[in-house]
Amino acid sequence: MLSDDKEIEIIGEAESGEAAVEQVRRDAPDVVLMDLRMPGIGGLEAMRRILRINDDIRIIAVTACADDPYPTRVMQAGAHAYITKGADFQEMLQAVRRASLGQRYISPEIAQKMALGKVNGGDEDHNVFDELSERELQIATMIVQCQKVQTISDRLCLSPKTVNTYRYRIFEKLGIESDVELTLKAVKHGILDADEV
């Protein structure tokens, strides 16, 4: 859809977080639409790496649904916009244009959820994954995507022992004892879609 707009030039697509980082390094785009649930290191970590390469790049985080559990983390990590995949073309275009000008944009439904989360803080809507550090959340996400410890280790440049230490801390913070329990919690709190299990 965006390629039909005369002011926008699409210069590439990537299949994984790692591929997105490499493509940005090679092609230096002005704006990146980043799927948060990309394979590999994931969209959030890819976004952080891209901004370390060039913090002038404007990133639009794209999520499958407005109920994604960490819009605040994404915006704090440097995204200029946050939209859902279900956004209509005009909203996507608005997000791209605002981001390219250095302005912020959040889909209204996501903004409402963020605002209500602050108002309702500490009630039954509390997301236990908010207790995790950025690295713990990243590793938890990779675990529930069935990535093995060695794969996580290789992708994040950590030793397998360090990954297992993070895994232990995640289990301790969430009060669980297995990857199955982690997966169930991830589905319950929107970290993982039920159809991905």
Query: Is residue 69 within 8 Å of 190, Cβ to Cβ?
Result: yes
Q: Which range in 41-45, 49-53, 60-64, 108-112 is most confidently predicted, on average pLDDT?
A: 49-53
Q: Quote the tokens at residue 181.
A: 């329990």
* Distance, CA of 97 to CA of 23 (rounded, Å): 21
* Distance, CA of 158 to CA of 152 (rounded, Å): 8
Band of pLDDT at residue 188, cut at 50, 70 and 90? confident
Q: Quote the tokens at residue 191.
A: 């970290």
CATH fold for domain 2-119? Rossmann fold (3.40.50)
**Taking the domains of the chain in order of start, what are their residue ranges?**
2-119, 128-196
Query: Which of the following CATH numbers is that of domain 128-196: 1.10.10.10, 3.40.50.1000, 3.40.50.2000, 3.40.50.10680?
Result: 1.10.10.10
Band of pLDDT at residue 19, cut at 50, 70 and 90? very high
Apex 65 CA angle, 59 and 68, nearest 5 = 75
pLDDT of residue 122: 46
